[in-house]
Structure formats: structure tokens, C-alpha cells
Amino acid sequence: MRRAAPLPTGGNRSLGFLLIYAIANAGGVIGFLPLLTLLLPMKIEAVVGDGRITLITATVIAGSTAAGLSNILFGWLSDRSVARGGGRRRWVAGGVVATSLSYAYIAVAPTPTAIILATIAFQAALNATLNPLYAIMADEIPDAQNGLTGGLLALANPISSAVLAVVVSMSTLSEGSRLAIVVVAFTTCIAPLLITRSQPLPIVDSPRAAVVGARRDLAFAWAARLLVQISGVILQLYLLYYFESIEASQPTGALPPNIGHLLTLSFAIALPVAVAIGRLSDRIDRRKPFLFGAAAVAALGLLGMAFAGDWTSGAISFAIYSVGAGVFLPLHNAFSIQLLPDPRHRGRDLGLLNLTNTLPSLLGPLLTWALATPSDFRLLMLVLVVLTFCGGLAILAVRGRR
């Protein structure tokens, strides 16, 4: 196999760059978390009322299909751009513009069909931003800093949930104003990364046997994230409806602000844990035990949610889940980047890995539709306990990395 000429490299990146990258990643999460967690469910509930679970299921399935295809497409396109010396930042910038326009479409969508079409446009535009953004980590941040970077990526959840808490707690805001605030936060977080200079790592070919082993390991890591992400997607989409099913004493209008504050607090608790574990995993060069432990903690939180009978017990259980998932997902990002088999196709391979985010968006609503009702989520939560714990077990099957 012909060896590619190495690209220039700056070695380890500064802490300042790592923070800029982590904040840009937070911007990417702001792009979807407030919308999909509360703003879109609230809009759907206002449009169709009791038909909300059916419409949100159809909306998410259509949007997730668009997300999966567009993520792979824009990963491939950004790979070609890198090969020609153009880099990925231009793709991120274009995606930011397109995503902002898609929010305007969502704001004016008046019917179920329009909501579905707006969500498809939104998912395609957002993934034009996210795939090149994630690939920059693989291109420019060395393995020795991946654990710390993965921990810093946990900044995304508390920052995005804080934005969510702000927009839902201000009852005087119109729907359009809430969406506009999200767009401003989204673009503000990503903009600093776009003006940084690219410092790609050298490209070094691996022996064929190592490539085959990396693909096998990546398949197990893919399966692990898929299983864990199913619960994450379901809670992201149906958390409002879950709390409505167990908490009859709170007025419906009080739940969105309370959920926003719960998300902010839960993700803030997870942040220092994720950073500490990420840094420790760099120092001892071991990530699998931490990933398994995090999945087990997340499963424990889901078990508590299955048997919660009021707001307090449900909120505490969700916080436990959030700590486990808040460690697993960013650390898994760092782990899976180390498993990518071909540095020339990082964007494409990350697009395939991103199917662990979009396939749960297809499977999760179907599971919810089959196993839950507006008044009972227990059976669904018990199934999620099993799937999440199995995701932790799957990561132990990876052989090439510890």
C-alpha cells in the first residue's frame, strides 16, 4: 500500500483550543437539544393535542432518516475537501447558515405535514454542521488528549440545557423568539472555532491486519453506543410526556420550566465527573472500564425511573441516569475516534458511526409507540435498562484498545 505524505502537525493542542472546540461542540448540541427535547414536543402538543405521540414518532422517523443520510454525505464531501487541501471549517460554516434558516421554517410550520417537512430540512442542515465538526477532533487532536477532550465535550449538555431552561422559563416569549434565542446561542458557540487555524495530524498508514482489527473493534463500539443511545433518544424526545405520566399534581404548564432546570442541574453534576474520568483515562491509557461503569450507572438511573411515582423520585433517577450517560457518551467519542481504521475517510466513517445516533431516533419512537402510553412508561423504561446495560457489556468486547 502506498504511504501518504504526512500533513503538517502541531503536536498537542493548547488547552485554549480544546476549550474552543468543546464550546463549538456545545453549540452543535444547542442546535438540537432544546428543540428536540421540549420546543418541538411543545409545538406538536399545541398543534395536535392527544395525537402528540403519533405525530412526534412520524416526525422523528422522517428527520432521523434525513439525518443519517446527510451525515454520511457531508462526511464524504468534507473528506474530499481535506484531500484537496480545503479543510472542513467551510462545511461547518455552511451548515450553520443552513441550520439557522431551517429554524425559521420550523417557526412558521402550521400543520403536521409542515412540521415533518421542516424537521427533515432541519436535520439535513444540522448534520452538514455536525459531521465536519466532529471530524475536526479526529483530524487535529492527538490520542493523548482525546480523554481530556472527551471530558470537556460534556460541557455541551449543561450549556445546552441552560439555554433550554432560559427559553422555556420565560413564559412571555413567543415560539419564534424562543427559536431565535437557540439560533443565536448555536452560532455564537461555533463561530470562534471557524477562525482558528487548522493543524492536522500526520496521516500514517496501518498494516492491513491492524485495519481489519480496527474495523472489528469499531463494530463493537458502534453496537455499544447504539444500545446506550436508544435510551438517550427516547428521554430526549419523550421526557416531558414521561413526567406528565407520573406527576399529576403539577400543572402541565409548570413542567417544561421544571424539566429545563432538571436538565441543567443533572448535566452540570455530570460535567466534572466526565472531565476527571476523561483525564484519568488519558493518564492510564484505559477507557473500557470507565465506559462499562458509566453504562451501568445509566441503567441504574433508568431502573429508578421505571418505578418512580412522583416528580422527586423521577427527577433523582433521571439525574443518576444523566451522570452515567454524561460520562459514557463523550468518553465513547474519544474511544471510537482512536478506532477509526483509515485517516483519509474520517468524515465518512464518522458518518457511519453517527448512525448510532440516528438509528436510535428510528427505533426509539417505535419502541415508545409500542411499549408506552401517555399515562404509563414503566415497561418501556425496563426495556431501556436492559439495552443500556448490554451496551456496557458490548464495549468490553473491543480488543485493540483497553
Q: How far apart are CA 273 and CA 247, in angstroms?
A: 30
pLDDT band per the 50, 70, 90 thresholds, residue 248:
low
Comparing 278 with 250, the larger pLDDT belongs to 278
Residue 1 has a pLDDT of 34
pLDDT band per the 50, 70, 90 thresholds, residue 142:
confident
Which residues contact residue 338 at a Cβ distance below 8 angstroms, ignoring those fewer than 6 apart? 143, 146, 401
Task: For residue 393, give Cα distances in angstroms to 191, 217, 227, 368.
Answer: 38, 13, 10, 24
Comparing 4 with 172, the larger pLDDT belongs to 172
Residue 6 has a pLDDT of 38
Residue 309 CB-density burial (10 A; 0-12 exposed, 13-18 middle, 19+ buried): exposed
Residue 278 has a pLDDT of 86
The helix/strand/coil state of 373 is strand
What secondary structure does DSSP assign to 120-131, as a single string?
HHHHHHHHHHHH
% of the chain exceeding 90 in pLDDT = 36
% of the chain exceeding 70 in pLDDT = 91
Residue 187 has a pLDDT of 96
The helix/strand/coil state of 219 is helix
Residue 140 has a pLDDT of 87
What average pLDDT does range 311-337 have in this prediction?
Answer: 90
Q: Point out which residues pair with 373 in neighbouring strands.
A: 376
* Average pLDDT taken over every residue of the chain: 85
pLDDT at 2 over 50: no
pLDDT at 46 over 90: no
What average pLDDT does range 128-145 have in this prediction?
Answer: 88
Closest CA to 107 of 174, 33, 31, 27: 174
What average pLDDT does range 93-102 have in this prediction?
Answer: 96
Comparing 56 with 382, the larger pLDDT belongs to 382
pLDDT band per the 50, 70, 90 thresholds, residue 307:
very high
Residue 368 has a pLDDT of 87
| Most confident listed range (41-55, 80-94, 127-141, 314-328) | 314-328
Domain ranges of the chain: 15-395
Q: Cell numbers of 116, please?
A: 415533518
Lowest mean pLDDT among 34-38, 205-209, 331-335: 205-209
| Per-residue pLDDT tens over the stretch 185-225 | 999 999 999 999 888 877 665 544 445 556 788 888 889 99
What average pLDDT does range 167-191 have in this prediction?
Answer: 90
Q: How far apart are CA 222 and CA 158, in angstroms?
A: 25
| Per-residue pLDDT tens over the stretch 360-372 | 877 888 888 889 8
Topology of domain 15-395, CATH: Growth Hormone; Chain: A; (1.20.1250)
Annotate 311-322 with b (16+ C-beta within 10 A) or e (fewer): beebbbbbbbbb
Model's pTM, two decimal places?
A: 0.75
pLDDT at 68 over 60: yes
Comparing 121 with 346, the larger pLDDT belongs to 121
| CB-CB contact of 203 with 7 (8 Å) | yes
C-alpha radius of gyration, the chain, whole number: 20
Angle at 386 between CA 384 and CA 387, to 5 degrees: 65
Residue 208 has a pLDDT of 45
Residue 209 has a pLDDT of 41
Enclosing H/E stretch for 107: helix 89-108
What average pLDDT does range 80-87 have in this prediction?
Answer: 83
Q: What is the DSSP letter of 86?
A: -
pLDDT at 341 over 80: no
